Amino acid sequence: MRNILLFLILSTLLNAIELKIASYNVENLFDMSYNGTEYKEYIPNRHNWTKSILNKKLTHISEVICDIDADIIGLQEIENQNALKLLQKSLKEYGCSYKYSAITHKPKSAIQIALLSKIPIQNSKDIVVTRVWGIRNILETKFIVDGKSIYIFVNHWNSKKSSDNKRIQSALALKKRLLLLPKNSEYILLGDFNANYNEYNIFNKLQTIRYCNMKPNIFSNYNLWLEEPIYRRWSHNFYGKKQGLDAILIPYSLFDGKGIDYINNSFKVFKKHYLFHQKGYILRWQYKKGEHQGIGYSDHLPIYALFSTRAYGKTNCKIDISTIKKLHNKNIKLPVLLKKVKVISKQKNKVILQRGKDIISIYGIDNSLSLNKIYDIIVYKRKLYQNSYEIVDFDIKRGYDTTKNWSKK
């Protein structure tokens, strides 16, 4: 009986289907046909936007997409169907073919949202956020994998130059559509949301919470940026301000051991060396002195995650109470709760916590921690730095009134 069970387990693992799903804002791929909706920098044969320069851009985008080697990739800032076809042709010539595609059709929009796939697309459609010009549609696609339906929604929400209200409109339109899907549907939300993962006033519309707080049959989504330490949560660097504007969000149904599941800790930012300038910043597409230079890639880095018909590898969700002293031990099981620790130092990217005689640093801060205030915090990740441990992922559970004598409680 034991041998039969082992055979069944091995057979399941060997025959599992694995998918790599990615997202990439390519930074303005326009064709050479004049439609009247182009950004002025991309009007054909002006500003050095020529067929030769277009071919260079197509080659650069193809290099990135082929290196990612995703089964399905959502794309942002594609001018139209023709530009997407040119990219498919370029990818085939470069050595990686994407036979299947879909794109939105927002009238009068300079750019659309697209998707390329190596597996058949069952159907696709636009989710119209508003008929008003200026807010892009959301691309909905449906796939069948191992007999199970999975939906992929590709997003490109309004830029940070606009008000939060426009991005909230997109979030609410997406949520409305998700609530109409069959119960326990499997879906992936991805794209350039133009909101950092911790902008909860926007992402709370999609009920984004940590994996351990998710429950069956309750609408919620897990932002995969939370798999990474705080200091790594970025795909866009604008004048030194690093943000995770590109994201992948998934529901409880991709953790339930049925159909398709997320592969634990597989979320990554694609950071090949050629995507960076030698000085360390992102090597975006170069437009200088009114002309395209034919150099660079995009102002965004691609992101990706892996999914499989194997069951999700469970994450420990039990939270034990611990101490700063124990956090400096090599063997400790996370997450843990630190009670009543005080912020005794605060710098740009770092704070120091104290309890009694023990101290520990937090590197990377995405929550509001005030100097001299007392907190209960949940520690999810730490790293060893210069022979001492630092916290690199945490949540604030509670803040205390510092006018009271907290040390004796």
Provide the residue-wise pLDDT of the chain in tens; the chain has 409 residues. 555 444 434 344 457 999 999 999 999 999 999 999 999 999 999 999 999 999 999 999 999 999 999 999 999 999 999 999 999 999 999 999 999 999 999 999 999 999 999 999 999 999 999 988 889 999 999 999 999 999 999 999 999 888 999 999 999 999 999 999 999 999 999 999 999 999 999 999 999 999 999 999 999 999 999 999 999 999 999 777 899 999 999 999 999 999 999 999 999 999 999 999 998 899 999 999 999 999 999 999 999 999 999 999 888 899 999 999 999 999 999 999 999 999 999 998 899 999 999 999 999 988 789 999 999 999 999 999 999 999 999 999 999 987 665 444 4
- How far, in whole angstroms, is CA 119 from its chain's centroid? 22
Question: Which part of the chain has CATH 3.60.10.10?
Answer: 15-308
Give the CB-side neighbour count of residue 278, counting CA atoms within 13 A.
0
- Are 48 and 284 in contact by the 8 Å Cβ rule? The answer is no
CATH number for the domain formed by residue range(s) 320-408: 2.40.50
Q: What is the pLDDT of residue 409?
A: 47
Is the bond preceding residue 251 a cis peptide, omega within 30 degrees? no
Q: What is the pLDDT of residue 371?
A: 94
pLDDT in tens, 219-249: 999 999 999 999 999 999 977 789 999 999 9
Give how far Cα 355 sits from Cα of 366, 376, 406, Å.
21, 11, 10
Residue 189 CA to residue 74 CA, distance in Å, equals 10
Residue 20 CA to residue 23 CA, distance in Å, equals 10
Question: Which part of the chain has CATH 2.40.50?
Answer: 320-408
Residue 179 CA to residue 177 CA, distance in Å, equals 5
The SS3 of residue 194 is coil
Beta strands in 236-325 (DSSP E): 236-238, 241-243, 246-250, 261-262, 268-269, 287-288, 291-292, 303-308, 320-322
Which residues, at least 6 apart from 330, have a Cβ–Cβ distance to it below 8 Å? none
Q: What is the pLDDT of residue 133?
A: 83
DSSP-derived pairing of the beta strands 388-400 and 358-363? parallel
Q: How close are the terminal C-alpha atoms of the chain, in Å? A: 56
- Are 181 and 146 in contact by the 8 Å Cβ rule? The answer is no
Nearest Cα to Cα of residue 24 among 339, 299, 263, 364: 299
pLDDT in tens, 80-113: 999 999 999 999 999 999 999 999 999 999 999 9
| CATH C-level class of 15-308 | alpha beta
pTM for the model stands at: 0.93
